[in-house]
Structure 1
Amino acid sequence: MRDRIVSRAALFDQLDRANRITEMSAPAGSGKTTLLRSWVETSDLAERAAQVSGEARDPRRFWPTVVAALRGTAAGSALVRPLTTAPDLDGWAVVEQLLSDLGPLPERLWLIIDDLHELAGTQTLHQLQLLMMRAPAELRFVLATRHDMRLGLHRLRLDGELTEIRASQLRFTREESGALLDAAGVTLSENAADQLHRRTEGWAAGLRLAALSLAGHPDPERFAAEFSGSERTVADYLLAEVLDRQPEPIRQLLLRTSVLERVNGELADLLTASSENEQILLDLENAGAFVIAADPQRSWFRYHRLFADLLQHELRRTDSARLPALHSTAADWYAANGYVIEAVRHAQAAQCWEQAVRLLSDHWVDLYLDGRIGTAQELLAGFPASAATADAELSVLMAVRDLDHGSLLKAERRLALAVDQSTTVPADRRTHFEAMCTVLRLRIARRRGNLPTVAEQAQRLLTVVETADAQRLGVGDGLQALALISLGSAEISALRIGGANRHLEQGIDLARRIGRPYLELAGLVHEAQLVVASSYTAGADLSLRAIELAKRHGWNDKPVTAVAHTVHAAALVAQGHTTEAEFWINQARRTLRPQENPVAAFKLHYVHARIQLARGEHVAALATLDEVEHLSRALGTPHVLRPMARAHMLHALVRLDETARVEQLLADMDADERDGTPARTAQAALRLAQANPRAARDLLPSDADDPRAGTRPLWRVAAFLLDALACDALGRTQDASDALERAFDAAAPDNLLLPFLLHPAPALLKRHAEARTAHPRLLGEVLSRLQADEDATQAATAPGASESVSVSVPTSAHLREPLSGSEMRVLRYLPTNLSGPEIAAELSLSVNTVRTHMRHVYEKLGAHSRFEAVELARSYGLVAPAVGLR
């Protein structure tokens, strides 16, 4: 493999622009020699660069080599006098001769000295320092060393004459790693190449050794996934170049501390039964011996992944009997110093199961309140199955694992087993055990939608927070915030709005004050669900705040974030923005699984059905609503949205002309549900479809304050709109106009378009546009959307329909030319935080195609950036209005 094939343009450029002296300091195998050789070749410096090695430590060998290399250059051949090797050769005299010879140097000349560390502690190094300090400006030095040398270069650093290149700069980037593998003729999938790059951390020698091993390997994908420091070629290299060069005390330090993911001086002292290990670790890091500082203060250290693999393999080979004691000592130290996760892991590695259970049990609530459920799951996987059958606290933790894996029944059975074992729990841990059970019961009840149990367990938690155990473990305030937020969520479903609002505000405020952002996120999501019932704009604002909070903390894949996505989608579809709503529903769908969280899945499917209804996809919507009905039966308490979902099912059936089925479903409803606003609105739509407008009017409110209109704005708008349709069918033109104006009055504060899409009345709306209306913009937007839907339907059903069909936009929008259907689909994604490649994946298009569409969108809108395109699209009503963060 010719290494020069791999271009390292950034480093080549840095060397080209380097100051008088360049020091390249990095550990063995970092690619220093290869980089310098390829730089000389690439930059065409063969006639202007003299290259020597520091391996010739003796001045009598080193200086003749330097003189010969300088004479081998174009400029040096004319200036530098030859030097004869002699037993009494004086290095100081040679330096003076070189300074004299090179004084009139007319052009730049490079002296490259590799393996400079070999000169440490020699007279030769002092002589070289003299040459560097007094050499003419045109003579440039490039020094490659495994560790920093005491060369007195600080003055040059202050004068700006020193260029330094460190190990971090020499690491191969992902792209350079790929180029190296290509040069070796190795073909790997993107995933395998990524894994190999992560394992080697861009270490040049590691990549080259891997490439050598991969060439001709029968299963390169598996090899790349399993590549480690114990792989023979890597192990031989690291043993010879790093480990075997260390004195025995340092070898023991490296081997014994390799059981740790990170190490500091105090912990290293404990594991080696020696002292002053912190300074040794600092020296090793300075020397670049694959020891890396893990924090800015350089108090914690870690080992390069491949080096750590080698050390662990060597420790198991030479001293495996010591492993349990090392892990046990580490577990005790981590526990005493508050590093719970590490303490549990090492207790498990030492098979100290009781210690591991107590540590995890004491801190499980803390992990849960901080949203670190994945970490807790990983730790639980480290216990053998036999341990859970004999320990009540571990049984509760295993029940939590079952719940998080989506097995509600298994979690309930495991919790019952833990309660049966509770007599074995020590008296001083009984209160803590009960608190764990209460939190678990609360979570199960929330997943089941069992509101009475949620409220009961939340109240019980409020009493637990005063206990000494809660205070001792520092989770009292966290449990109180959890209880308040849980109470608020239960009260939302029970329609106790005042109590829900009060408890949620208290819980969110407390979570924020005590620094529990995951609890704050849960509270914001529940508050968004509460607010969206009366104001979709405010609900969209609040859900977006929750989404942004989740994004800041890396919680995009949490179920609670999926609920925030669902709420945001609900607000967007209510305002008629179906494409953006579908984007957020798809985000939620990636995380939520119905068997894990039937309540959240119920809401997700219901919002998805409303998107389908708004698009006129009534068959698909009916199938989704059937799933909603199925999920509702799995809930412990009837969901507050169920009557609305059933009303939308009736609406879909009316649009599909299945009136007989509608009548049967209405007859099967209990009287309270049938008399509620959603069902009465659906019945009115049925009567209109049956050409009985008078019966439809009898079912609908005639005034905005009529209690039958309910408190949810969508249903009020729908009721007024259906009343307008009924009046129009009866020939009562003025009453129809008045009812339609009331519909717009109710829709305007939240810009609600959904009712006008579910009950399209283009003829009535066009007549209303000719009369005086207080809402011309909203009316124009509705007419534009209905026209766009009609055009899209005609285009989709026309013979030879293609992607080039243009989409109608509001007449007030002065686009340079209409957007195509594909351009509109791309435009709908621009307000999101997705990159171009991510949008391409969503639309199953190539990245180049998406970029082409984006460029056309910018041109047609007259925009110069993505932000400007979104703002202009919003002004034209093509995408949802911006939602401000409050």
Structure 2
Amino acid sequence: MPDLIERRDLVAALDRAARSRVTVVSAPAGSGKTSLLCLWRDQYGRGRRIAFMSVRPEQLDAQLFWHALLGAVYDATGADRVEPSTTPGFDGQAMVDRVLSEIGSAGEPIYLVIDDLHELGSAEAADQLTALLTRLPPRVHAIVATRRLPPLRLHRLRLAGELAEIRVPQLRFTEAETRELLATARIPLPDDAAATLHQRTEGWAAGLGLAVLSLAGHPDPARFVAEFSGSDRTVAEYLMAEILDRQPADVRRLLLRTSLLDRVDGELADLLTGAAGSDRILLELEDANAFVVSVDATRTWFRYHNLFAGLLRLELRRTQNADIPALHRLAARWFAEHALPADAVRHLQAAGDWPAAARLLADHSLSMTLDGQGGSVAALLRAFPARAGARSPELAVVHAIADLDRMHLDDAVAHLAIARSHAGTTASRMVITALELLLARLRGHFSAVVEQADALPSPVTGRSDADIALVGDLQAVALLNLGVTEAWSMRLPAAERHLLDGAALARDIGRPYLEVACLAHLGFASTFRSFALARQRCEEAIALAAHHGWEAEPVIAPAAVTLAGIFAGTGEFDRGEQWLARAERLTRAEGEPGTRLLVHLVAGLLAAARGHHREALPEFAAARRVQAGMAGEHALSARVTAWMIATQARGGLLEEAKATLEHAAGDEFGTAAAVVRLAGGDPAGAREELRKVPETASVPARIEARLVAALAGWELGDKAAAGTLVEDALTLAEQDRLILPFAMTGAGELLESLRETSHAALVADILDVVRGGAPANPLPAGELSPSELRVLRYLPTNLTRPEIAGQLSVSLNTVNTHIRHIYAKLGATDRTAAVRRGRELRLLASGRA
């Protein structure tokens, strides 16, 4: 049935492989090996000499094998057929020489294709075939197809690069090919059902073919796919005949008794079978392509193909049903002893031992959550029947953990109350305290977090190893919650200190997920120092998460949105929007409010910076709604309201801006009030409002205030004061090369009016951005040192070398030395060429200014 489609990419891959001296196609029964050879012969065989033969089932006679191969060679070359005689004293070496002579004298390329080599039961013939394949004449190629790796000694060909292989991964149908097969067979399936069918069959050609045959005319194709498994009659019959019935008794016992596992290693298989040597059997099964696949590089752990596993479980229930609960308990004990609690709980549940499963899950749920397995905890909890799960005091803590993960905070309160009323040990009470700390943080009840942090457990000598480990976990959790709370409260130095301590402790106790969580928030906490440091820490968090496979997990959302904010601040709006899109994907609608507020805030800032004021307002409004649902106040909430007011005013919604301002009070709104005054034609009133902005405000807030004051002064005709204020704003912006405040306030005209400035390079970048370009790379890049980069940024200006030296407060000699190094490193011969090369490398602005 899979022959319905041509699989051009796979056939082309075989044709490329066939250019090697020898090509081995090795895969399980039903993988489409013969179909592939036939398609290749049909599509690429025209004008080629192809000697094609299939080894007959259970071929034990070397003489008959060689006679068949020689006959295929005669058919391909068109030479006069000289039938060899069948004799008792068969000379295999002479036959090898005869075949080599025939193919060598053909005078043109020839391909030997041997299908079903696994049927060759003659060791003598296999040795002779090795001799033939290693002595093939030039322009002669061989393709061998087999279910298992052949007993051919082809290592010299492999080392010489003359051996090509096509294995299971290449032969699997892709999801697109699965859809094409269904369409060609005129079987209507929804996209999700087609994807499920591909996943169930793992792209196995025979499985897809059997499914297509069963689907033809089926009244409910989608239901058939949902139920399709190895227990399907047609699949079961095929696998029984081709795989299971061919195995000796000890191998059958291993396959059946380990089929209830998602993965198996030799030690665990020995336990379930009561025999030794399972490692060897599993390795041999994989080598034989018997639907057994290793899942690690050392070939220690194995799994069974989905459909094969389904058949094995069906056969286990049919033949050894009474043993299944005991097998699950054995597996659970083994997994628990090897620190794999999720697997252990799963097998206890399968055995129906609900009390033991509840105890084990309760003991390990916090640890699993700290290892990034919160989803597994929730799934295991859902597997308990209502009577055993909902009413179990032991599972109350587990319910609370799942509630917190899903942001069902009211449910978490109820479950924590039940857990505390039944907490019988100090350890359990400490766990509940840690969860209550997280609950307060997720509610935005920041003052409660700070108060409860005083209840941090401290190491006590004489405790058990388990107690010491728990204390370490709880300390790290408390440091994370405290640091995050301080970050959202804008107590950034304290947040940085606690998050650094939390990350270090998590690293020491072997909790990488917890370490990533601390580092992801540390980026935001570091913004008060410098954007360069904050960016570096965000990237470290994301890299560590990617190393552990968590790059798509919400745990890195704070780092992603902080990066979006950093790039927004430095005027790299396109990069900011890319990181914002990633942060939005990672931030669940019901996720942590502090992160959600920051996502909406950055989205609003990016839109406003581009002049899209009406698009920015819904984002600021969404951020305010998040704040409204918090028990405490996010320190950025006042800034959100202030930016909303200013954006309303700049977007022509003056009355709406005044209405919003009426409900706002405090020094944080001085700049917003000034923007409203300016928009209403009252620059003098704007100046008065700006006197309320304290010098203790953040750097971006002070830059924005100076720029608005400069705009007011400009309108009042006080151009000298406006120039001084702009120069002050540039000085504040220089360290992190902040561009966002200049773009949001519309200060481009003021910058163009500056006749003299000590920030010529930054001004060029800002003007480039406000005119639709992109700024230069704000961080050192390539081989240029930071000092050389500073000099490079002045080269596009009209300043002379002595003037550049004056701007940088260094000697002319120093500037000349830096310029020589810049020319050498950029491969430039003059100033113009250095500027051009700097722009190509994005070390300089694009030049629109």
Task: Please report the TM-score for the alignment, with normalisation by the length of structure 2.
Answer: 0.81
The residue type paired with residue 727 of structure 1 is G
Distance between the aligned counterparts of 2:321 and 2:140, measured in 1? Answer: 55
Task: Kindly provide the CA deviation profile for residues 588-625 of structure 1, in whole angstroms up to 9, marking residues without a partner as x.
Answer: 22332454322222222223333333344444444443
Structure 2 residue matching 1:468: 3-state secondary structure: coil
The residue type paired with residue 351 of structure 1 is G
The residue type paired with residue 105 of structure 2 is P
1:106 aligns with 2:105: yes
Post-superposition offset of 1:788: 4.8
Task: Kindly provide the CA deviation profile for residues 298-356 of structure 1, in whole angstroms up to 9, marking residues without a partner as x.
Answer: 33322122211111122223333322111111101111122222111111111222322
Change (3 A) 1:131 1:434: same
1:773 aligns with 2:742: no
Which range moves more in the overlay, 511-520 or 334-343? 511-520
Post-superposition offset of 1:450: 1.2
Match among 633, 638, 651 for residue 638 of structure 1 = 633
The residue type paired with residue 669 of structure 2 is A
Change (3 A) 1:468 1:17: same
Task: Kindly provide the CA deviation profile for residues 115-145 of structure 1, in whole angstroms up to 9, marking residues without a partner as x.
Answer: 3443425776677778778998888665444
Which range moves more in the overlay, 388-397 or 120-129? 120-129
Percent identity of equivalent pairs: 39
Q: Which residue of 1 aligns with 2:745?
A: 759
Change (3 A) 1:176 1:868: farther
Distance between the aligned counterparts of 1:304 and 1:375, measured in 2? Answer: 23
Q: How does 1:551-562 map to 2 (within 5 A)?
A: 551-562=546-557
Distance between the aligned counterparts of 2:613 and 2:365, measured in 1? Answer: 47
Q: Which residue of 1 aligns with 2:481?
A: 486
Match among 431, 440, 454 for residue 445 of structure 1 = 440
Change (3 A) 1:556 1:338: closer
Change (3 A) 1:643 1:762: same
Question: Are the counterparts in 1 of residues 743 and 770 from structure 2 also a CA contact under 8 Å?
Answer: yes
Post-superposition offset of 1:238: 0.4
Structure 1 residue matching 2:352: 3-state secondary structure: coil
Structure 1 residue matching 2:632: 3-state secondary structure: coil
Q: Which residue of 1 aligns with 2:803?
A: none
Match among 721, 724, 728 for residue 710 of structure 2 = 724
Q: Which residue of 2 aligns with 1:696?
A: 686
1:352 aligns with 2:353: yes
Question: Are the counterparts in 2 of residues 6 and 179 from structure 1 also a CA contact under 8 Å?
Answer: no
Change (3 A) 1:188 1:877: farther
Change (3 A) 1:51 1:378: same
Which range moves more in the overlay, 469-478 or 374-383? 469-478
Distance between the aligned counterparts of 2:841 and 2:469, measured in 1? Answer: 47
Question: Are the counterparts in 1 of residues 157 and 163 from structure 2 also a CA contact under 8 Å?
Answer: yes
Post-superposition offset of 1:869: 9.2
Distance between the aligned counterparts of 1:38 and 1:310, measured in 2? Answer: 31
Distance between the aligned counterparts of 1:346 and 1:435, measured in 2? Answer: 29
Question: Are the counterparts in 2 of residues 196 and 224 from structure 1 also a CA contact under 8 Å?
Answer: yes
Question: Are the counterparts in 2 of residues 724 and 737 from structure 1 also a CA contact under 8 Å?
Answer: yes
1:326 aligns with 2:327: yes
Q: Which residue of 2 aligns with 1:29?
A: 30
Which range moves more in the overlay, 365-374 or 552-561? 552-561
Q: How does 1:337-376 map to 2 (within 5 A)?
A: 337-376=338-377
1:684 aligns with 2:674: yes
Q: How does 1:362-401 map to 2 (within 5 A)?
A: 362-401=363-402
Distance between the aligned counterparts of 2:135 and 2:640, measured in 1? Answer: 87
Distance between the aligned counterparts of 2:342 and 2:61, measured in 1? Answer: 53
Q: Which residue of 2 aligns with 1:876?
A: 846
Change (3 A) 1:331 1:136: same
Q: Which residue of 2 aligns with 1:714?
A: 700
Task: Kindly provide the CA deviation profile for residues 785-818 of structure 1, in whole angstroms up to 9, marking residues without a partner as x.
Answer: 44559xxxxxxxxxxxxxxxxxxxxx979xxxxx
Structure 1 residue matching 2:694: 3-state secondary structure: helix
Match among 534, 537, 540 for residue 542 of structure 1 = 537
Change (3 A) 1:90 1:164: farther
Question: Are the counterparts in 1 of residues 25 and 166 from structure 2 also a CA contact under 8 Å?
Answer: yes
Q: Which residue of 2 aligns with 1:735?
A: 721
Distance between the aligned counterparts of 1:125 and 1:159, measured in 2? Answer: 21
Post-superposition offset of 1:416: 1.6
Task: Kindly provide the CA deviation profile for residues 261-295 of structure 1, in whole angstroms up to 9, marking residues without a partner as x.
Answer: 12223322222233333333333233222222333
Q: How does 1:88-107 map to 2 (within 5 A)?
A: 89-90=87-88, 92=90, 96=94, 99=97, 103=101, 105-107=104-106
Post-superposition offset of 1:402: 1.6
Which ranges of structure 1 fall in alignment gaps of 5 or more residues? 790-810, 814-866, 880-886
The residue type paired with residue 72 of structure 1 is D
The residue type paired with residue 265 of structure 1 is G
Question: Are the counterparts in 2 of residues 485 and 507 from structure 1 also a CA contact under 8 Å?
Answer: yes
Structure 2 residue matching 1:708: 3-state secondary structure: coil
Q: Which residue of 2 aligns with 1:526?
A: 521
Change (3 A) 1:534 1:612: farther
Question: Are the counterparts in 2 of residues 59 and 91 from structure 1 also a CA contact under 8 Å?
Answer: no
Q: How does 1:739-818 map to 2 (within 5 A)?
A: 739-761=725-747, 763-768=749-754, 771-788=755-772
The count of aligned residue pairs is 783
Q: Which residue of 2 aligns with 1:417?
A: 418
Distance between the aligned counterparts of 2:609 and 2:133, measured in 1? Answer: 78
Structure 1 residue matching 2:526: 3-state secondary structure: helix
The residue type paired with residue 90 of structure 2 is W
Which range moves more in the overlay, 112-121 or 310-319? 112-121
Task: Kindly provide the CA deviation profile for residues 638-697 of structure 1, in whole angstroms up to 9, marking residues without a partner as x.
Answer: 22112222222332344466666666655655xxx52x2x21222333333444444433
The residue type paired with residue 773 of structure 1 is T
Distance between the aligned counterparts of 2:313 and 2:140, measured in 1? Answer: 47
Change (3 A) 1:738 1:228: same
Post-superposition offset of 1:713: 1.1
Distance between the aligned counterparts of 1:581 and 1:775, measured in 2? Answer: 24
Distance between the aligned counterparts of 2:646 and 2:99, measured in 1? Answer: 98
Question: Are the counterparts in 1 of residues 173 and 205 from structure 2 also a CA contact under 8 Å?
Answer: yes
Task: Kindly provide the CA deviation profile for residues 796-845 of structure 1, in whole angstroms up to 9, marking residues without a partner as x.
Answer: xxxxxxxxxxxxxxx979xxxxxxxxxxxxxxxxxxxxxxxxxxxxxxxx
Task: Kindly provide the CA deviation profile for residues 523-582 of structure 1, in whole angstroms up to 9, marking residues without a partner as x.
Answer: 233332223246445434433443343344333443342222222222233334444433
Q: Which residue of 2 aligns with 1:246?
A: 247
Query: CA RMSD of the aligned region, Å?
Result: 3.9
Structure 1 residue matching 2:735: 3-state secondary structure: helix
Post-superposition offset of 1:110: 5.2
Post-superposition offset of 1:404: 1.5
Task: Kindly provide the CA deviation profile for residues 54-97 of structure 1, in whole angstroms up to 9, marking residues without a partner as x.
Answer: 3354568656645544443434x42x423567xxx426058747
1:434 aligns with 2:429: yes
1:312 aligns with 2:302: no
Distance between the aligned counterparts of 1:207 and 1:218, measured in 2? Answer: 18
The residue type paired with residue 431 of structure 1 is T
Which range moves more in the overlay, 639-648 or 531-540? 531-540
Structure 2 residue matching 1:323: 3-state secondary structure: helix
Which range moves more in the overlay, 26-35 or 444-453? 26-35
Question: Are the counterparts in 2 of residues 29 and 205 from structure 1 also a CA contact under 8 Å?
Answer: yes
The residue type paired with residue 210 of structure 1 is A
1:605 aligns with 2:589: no
Change (3 A) 1:323 1:723: same
Post-superposition offset of 1:493: 4.4
Distance between the aligned counterparts of 1:294 and 1:417, measured in 2? Answer: 42
Q: Which residue of 2 aligns with 1:563?
A: 558
Task: Please report the TM-score for the alignment, with normalisation by the length of structure 1.
Answer: 0.78
Distance between the aligned counterparts of 1:571 and 1:132, measured in 2? Answer: 62
Distance between the aligned counterparts of 1:382 and 1:393, measured in 2? Answer: 15
Q: Which residue of 2 aligns with 1:296?
A: 297
Post-superposition offset of 1:49: 0.8
